[in-house]
Amino acid sequence: MKNFLLITSIILISRISVIAQVEVELFEDQINHTINKNIYGHFAEHLGRCIYDGFYVGEDNTTIPHKNGVRLDVIEALRDLEIPVLRWPGGCFADTYHWKDGVGPKNKRPTIVNQWWGGVVEDNSFGTHDFLNMCEVLGAEPYLAANVGSGTVKELADWVQYVNHDGISPMAKWRKENGRDKPWNVKYWGVGNEMWGCGGNMTPEYYANLYKQYATFMVDWSNSAGLYRIASGASDNDYHWTEIMMRDIPKHLIEAIALHSYAVIDWNDKGSATAFNESQYFTTMERALNMETLVTKHSAIMDKYDPEKEIALFVDEWGGWYNVEEGTNPGFLYQQNTMRDAMIAGTTLNIFNNHADRVKMANLAQTINVLQAVLLTKEEKLVLTPTYHVMNMYKVHQDAKLIPVSLNNNTSYEMGGKSLPAVSVSASLNDKGEVHISLVNIHVTKSVKVDLLLTDLKAKSITGQILSSDHLQDHNTFDNPSKISQVSFSSFKKRKEKLEVSIPQASVIVLKIK
């Protein structure tokens, strides 16, 4: 007999006085895939105050506690978040970055003009050793994005040898001279970034040929090093790009293909991060929920050429993108983080979880002080954003077994003649036998009454956490850093095999059943 959970939700839909029913079945007898922990990855670009003044405050800083220049409060927060992988140094910056400028004595490193982000001059004081050593401290796998747009094949091949070679070689010798004896054994390598845009404005056919050249010289023919070579993938719904990558690149030269998609209201006017109305919120969520369509359609193209699903899909840039905060550098992309961002994070992560058969990594853009950041810093202060708390709640899904879900008759969140599903859900089973169910209600005004039927699930104990606030525009500030945080959730009643749950409007809930 199949195990399943049945969620029945009866609410009055906003603007339509109709009773709607939501049913969600969880099929424990159909578990086939693991939710790769790297779906909960992050992205750190040399952009604005993400690296400098975010992660890195310098080794000579005497006012902010640090380890080798990396803020200790950042280390603590990200270790608590259990971040599995961190992508660096870009982004668009990657295809202007020459890694050899960032190694060796810091007082001898050349400067660089960050032509993409604000035109600021950087001193290359944060380079390969700093990043890879920091990843070791964080317990995160590094993901290096290589320079294809303005670099060379030899430059990338040398970088692979520098960080990974454990024998006698010119680059290994140089690494040891620079203070690192053993290699870092970096697994994940992006072969360029956004080659359709800031990486070189290339056609997919041209880039596919260029990719093959770079990938060939990264490792030997058998790829005995076990590298994950990641092709620069499509933007949003450019399905032709994915088609060409899958058609033209042989399987022995590629392990993953990327996808970038942001929840943007309008690229010409992205709107305020905090002073937005419900219509703007609705449009943002429409864009965020479109990730389901994007992942489904790109995966279908990949299935044509790779039915065994040997090539992974990495959504290595995603998140909300708004206008910068007033008075900040437009090139620094600094924005606040509200409950709207929590809705984006919760629904998007549910989508990735449910596509665990193909999606093996995702990298939120970006970690600190840029776009949909999980951390904000100001001098000695640090703020955990609502997005941080969602990812902290969801970390229970990392490397757990995906429980397939079937959601029928989802109630609608409607506006302007458009309709969005109000409820989002994913579920997993960990190696302790615990089931975790993550639920999101994106509706602004209506709570959801849920009947959770525990038919074949032996629920000895049930606990929960919730993230919510009075207004979607609410956010944490340096003066009030704890306005929004995850708290215990107990708005449920157990009645035999049924659990009655109330999900407030605009909230994220994670239940643990064991």
Active site residue 136: no
Instruction: Tell me the H-state helices in 306-412.
Output: 339-354, 386-394
Q: Choosing from 317, 326, 379, 380, which is the catalytic residue? A: 317
Q: Is 317 a catalytic residue?
A: yes
Q: What does 213-259 look like in DSSP terms, one character per residue? A: HHHHTTS-TT-TT--EEEEEEEETT-HHHHHHHHHHS-GGG-SEEEE
Question: Do 262 and 291 form a contact (C-beta atoms < 8 A)?
Answer: no
Catalytic residue, candidates 45, 194, 255, 292:
194
Give the CA-trace dihedral at 406, 339, 511, 404, to 10 degrees.
20
Contact 386, 467 (CB under 8 A): yes
Contacts of 76 (CB under 8 A, 6+ apart): none
3-state secondary structure of 51: coil
Q: Answer whether the bond into residue 161 is a cis peptide, omega within 30°.
A: no
Tokens of 150: 């303005």
**Number of residues assigned to the chain:** 514
> In Å, how far from its chain's centre is CA 389?
14
**Ramachandran category for residue 139: left, alpha or beta (phi over 0 → left; psi -120 to 50 → alpha):** left
Both tokens of 501, joined, read 């749950």
Pull the structure tokens for residue 129.
């050793």
Active site amino acids: 194, 317
